[in-house]
């Protein structure tokens, strides 16, 4: 990662997208080492923002993170007009136009392998090339990407464990080393006077304030570092705590990985070192970082997964449809299924934009295998509501739950929402937090209120069908229907 001896370009432009930090930033490092002066831009892209609801926690997270990024760039540049150029425009038009107005010979950005992003970047590259400008992109969002981990026959992996073993064999100090941006920061250019504007307000972008701060979600690179430092103090216990939603087990860094406010190399480097030292929690956590790379390479090699099953045979499944299915889907979305762990999990995502990973598996299995509803409907709901929504991971997780994806849960394994509740929220702390109407039930009755004795319900103030719904389906009956539904793919 050593810089070239002489800059290749007089002026360069770094286009920030899902990498909202300066530390260990591949594209920024490359620009600073290849250009005599470097400008930086972020575009609030109309094509991304316009379809969103006017209250979106992710837009607020990005905006707050940009405020910090702008301040850091200003400090690094040591110039009163230093900082980030922020535009509210169509990126495919604005980036080439800005490169022209700045006299930039090259634009630098980090890879984004989502299909829409690839199409956007292809158009930008073409428009820049017509004007005689270069467009350079770099790996930054994952540790190993695209075709860096292949089988001995040169094919992409479709099963995680062999992929993980190959990943661990391939990864080395070079892959995990950070980019030393700061030593080249003197090449950051002052912004032109007509671009010396503060980061736009939410209102000027057409959005309203959200519940991002309830509970408080630290934003920006400093917020990510704060969470990481906290996690390192308990990472050794991660393997024991990660499955219990009422316990402070996860790192809570997923949204920061999504928007690049922390370097994945820093996380993997730290976890890898701790793994080599025998830290059990770090070993498990590193595996989850490798899962992330795995799903990105699946998306890269198999883009059809965006709207179809990874395993084509699963597209033959007949999902429930019509008014009754729509009513069941609405009950799932709104946390009215009558299964407390499922409903508490949906309350969590609806109120905070976050859902614990164990609960993501539980509610996905319930939607697909208890309600018989197409996994794509659940995937789309998560895409709208999750702060950390990432197409590759979200798609991979939903296809895993529906058994249609790579290395998926076998179709005949169907989570029982009551036993999952009893196992992973044994004291009912999580359920009581998000379903206060059930808080006074005895713990033994909390996981399946319809089994509670009438006196228990009365003393807890619970009226089934009124203050809390009856179960929308019987799990045992639904399980049999699912096995019949999946019979079309048994041979697969």
Residue 100 to residue 125: CA distance in whole angstroms: 13
Does residue 249 sit in helix, strand or coil?
coil
Fill in the DSSP letter of residue 27: H
Q: Of 404, 342, 338, whose CA–CA distance to 367 is shortest?
A: 342
Main-chain phi, psi angles of 60, to 5 degrees: -65, -40
Residue 428 to residue 60: CA distance in whole angstroms: 32
The total of other beta-carbon atoms located within 10 Å of residue 298's CB is 24
Cα angle 100-129-85, degrees, rounded to a multiple of 5 = 35
Residues 190, 76: contact at Cβ < 8 Å?
A: no
Residues 106, 12: contact at Cβ < 8 Å?
A: yes
Question: Which residues are part of the catalytic machinery?
Answer: 288, 291, 319, 357, 375, 398
For tokens 């889907």, name the residue.
Answer: 329
Residue 11 to residue 38: CA distance in whole angstroms: 6
Fill in the DSSP letter of residue 405: S
End-to-end CA, the chain = 45
Structure-block tokens of residue 440: 């006074």
Residues 26, 263: contact at Cβ < 8 Å?
A: no
**Residues 6+ away with beta carbon under 8 Å from 404:** 309, 310, 311, 314, 315, 317, 375
- Cα–Cα separations (whole angstroms), residue 180 to 3, 24, 27, 32, 107: 10, 6, 12, 10, 20
Residue 232 to residue 452: CA distance in whole angstroms: 41
Residues 52, 61: contact at Cβ < 8 Å?
A: no
Q: Of 196, 413, 434, 399, whose CA–CA distance to 311 is shortest?
A: 399
Handedness of CA 6, 9, 11, 14 (dihedral sign): negative
Residues in the chain: 492
């Amino acid at each position: 990662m050593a810089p070239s001896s002489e800059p290749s370009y007089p002026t360069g432009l770094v286009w920030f997208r899902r990498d909202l930090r300066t530390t260990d930033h591949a594209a920024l490092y490359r620009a600073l080492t290849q250009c005599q002066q470097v400008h930086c831009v972020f575009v609030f892209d109309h094509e991304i923002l316009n379809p969103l609801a006017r209250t979106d926690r992710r837009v607020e997270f990005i905006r707050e993170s940009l405020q910090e990024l702008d301040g850091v760039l200003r400090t690094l540049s040591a110039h009163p007009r230093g900082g980030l150029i922020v535009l509210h425009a169509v990126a495919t038009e604005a980036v080439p136009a800005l490169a022209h107005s700045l006299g930039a010979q090259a634009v630098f950005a980090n890879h984004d392998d989502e299909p829409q992003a690839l199409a956007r970047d292809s158009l930008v590259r073409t428009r820049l090339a017509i004007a005689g400008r270069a467009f350079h992109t770099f790996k930054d969002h994952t540790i190993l990407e695209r075709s860096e981990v292949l089988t001995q026959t040169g094919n992409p992996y479709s099963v995680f464990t062999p992929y993980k073993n190959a990943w661990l064999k391939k990864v080395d100090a070079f892959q995990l080393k950070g980019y030393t941006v700061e030593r080249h920061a003197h090449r950051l250019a002052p912004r032109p006077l007509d671009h010396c504007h503060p980061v736009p307000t939410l209102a000027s972008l057409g959005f309203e304030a959200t519940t991002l701060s309830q509970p408080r979600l630290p934003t920006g690179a400093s917020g990510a570092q704060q969470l990481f430092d906290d996690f390192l103090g308990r990472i050794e216990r991660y393997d024991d705590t990660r499955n219990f939603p009422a316990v402070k087990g996860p790192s809570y860094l997923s949204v920061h990985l999504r928007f690049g406010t922390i370097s994945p190399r820093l996380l993997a480097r730290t976890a890898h070192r701790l793994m080599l030292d025998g830290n059990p929690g770090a070993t498990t956590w590193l595996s989850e970082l490798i899962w992330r790379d795995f799903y990105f390479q699946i998306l890269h090699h198999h883009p059809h997964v965006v709207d179809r099953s990874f395993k084509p045979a699963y597209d033959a499944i007949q999902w429930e449809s019509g008014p009754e299915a729509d009513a069941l889907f609405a009950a799932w979305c709104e946390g009215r299924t009558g299964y407390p762990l499922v409903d508490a999990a949906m309350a969590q995502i609806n109120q905070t934009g976050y859902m614990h990973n164990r609960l993501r598996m539980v509610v996905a299995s319930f939607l697909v295998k208890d309600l018989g509803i197409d996994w794509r409907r659940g995937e789309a709901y998560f895409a709208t509501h999750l702060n950390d929504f990432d197409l590759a991971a979200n798609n991979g997780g939903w296809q895993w739950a529906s058994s249609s994806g790579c290395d998926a849960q076998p179709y005949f394994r169907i989570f029982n929402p009551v036993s999952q509740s009893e196992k992973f929220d044994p004291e009912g702390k999580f359920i009581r937090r998000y379903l206060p109407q059930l808080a006074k039930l005895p713990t033994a009755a909390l996981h399946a209120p319809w089994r509670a004795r009438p006196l228990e319900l009365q003393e807890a103030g619970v009226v089934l069908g009124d203050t809390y719904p009856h179960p929308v389906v019987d799990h045992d009956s639904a399980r049999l229907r699912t096995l019949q539904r999946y019979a079309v793919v048994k041979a697969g």
